[in-house]
């Protein structure tokens, strides 16, 4: 395990955090919208394949990130009001849950609708579950709602980190920023 101060997350944890954020944002941007017929039009194959590839990468990264979190040491938490501490934990649990739920609902919905996952390069992962089209459509709709929810929750998470830095002037934001980020060179003062 890497050495670091007790006020910052290590390089691996930071890389997982920021790579996850980037992949989730890209998957959202390239997410096809509309009915099943529109999503699976040949004209949208590249965007759908990119979206499905990014989604599987998010799922794989979430698994690795959770495993790393079990092994890695985290910085000492900032002293917070009890409601802030509980809110922080609830948002973290919800974000981790969504990192799994969003891709898993996409996979399940596509397979139940009778579609393979098609990744960049044309690699297809055929359905491993029986066909139940109506349930698949419903799960695909849930996937879309969860995709919106993860972006809203991530935005709230980012706003809270900025609030910590600008208003509370603690080290919460700095703890997840790489040292090479200019903001990371500022010291938090109480």
Confidence (pLDDT) at 92:
94
Confidence (pLDDT) at 20:
97
Count Cα atoms within 13 angstroms, Cβ side, for 161. 16
- The fold adopted by the segment(s) 11-182 is Fumarate Reductase Cytochrome B subunit (1.20.950)
> How far apart are alpha carbons 91 and 69 in whole angstroms?
16
Confidence (pLDDT) at 128:
75
Q: Are 148 and 105 in contact (CB under 8 A)?
A: no
Confidence (pLDDT) at 40:
81
Confidence (pLDDT) at 77:
81
Query: What are the extents of the domains in the chain?
Result: 11-182
- Residue by residue, DSSP assigns the chain as -----TTS--HHHHHHHHHHHHHHHHHHHT---S-HHHHT-GGGHHHHHHHHHHHHHHHHHHHHHHHHHHHS--PPPPP--HHHHHHHHHHHHHHHHHHHHHHHHHHHHHHHHT--EE-GGG-EE---S---HHHHHHHHHHHHHHHHHHHHHHHHHHHHHHHIIIII--SHHHHHS-TTSGGGGSPP--
pLDDT averaged per 10 residues, the chain (length 190): 66 95 95 82 87 96 96 86 92 97 95 91 84 88 96 96 91 86 56
pTM metric for this prediction: 0.86
Confidence (pLDDT) at 4:
44
Q: Measured over all CA atoms, what is the biggest interatomic distance in the chain, rounded to whole angstroms?
A: 58
């Amino acid at each position: 395990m890497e050495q670091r101060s007790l006020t910052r997350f290590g390089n691996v944890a930071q890389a997982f955090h920021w790579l996850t954020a980037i992949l989730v944002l890209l998957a959202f941007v390239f997410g096809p919208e509309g009915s099943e017929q529109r999503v699976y039009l040949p004209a949208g194959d590249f965007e759908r394949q990119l979206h499905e590839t990014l989604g599987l990468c998010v799922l794989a990264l979430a698994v690795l990130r959770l495993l790393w979190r079990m092994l890695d040491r985290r910085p000492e938490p900032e002293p917070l009001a009890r409601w802030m501490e509980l809110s922080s934990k609830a948002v973290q649990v919800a974000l981790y849950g969504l990192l799994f739920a969003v891709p898993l609902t996409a996979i399940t919905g596509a397979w139940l609708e009778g579609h393979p996952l098609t990744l960049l390069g044309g690699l297809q992962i055929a359905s491993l579950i029986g066909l139940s089209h109506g349930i698949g459509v419903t799960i695909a709709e849930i996937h879309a709602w969860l995709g919106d929810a993860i972006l809203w929750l991530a935005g709230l998470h980012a706003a809270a980190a900025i609030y910590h830095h600008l208003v509370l002037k603690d080290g919460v934001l700095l703890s997840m920023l790489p040292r090479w980020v200019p903001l990371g060179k500022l010291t938090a003062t109480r």
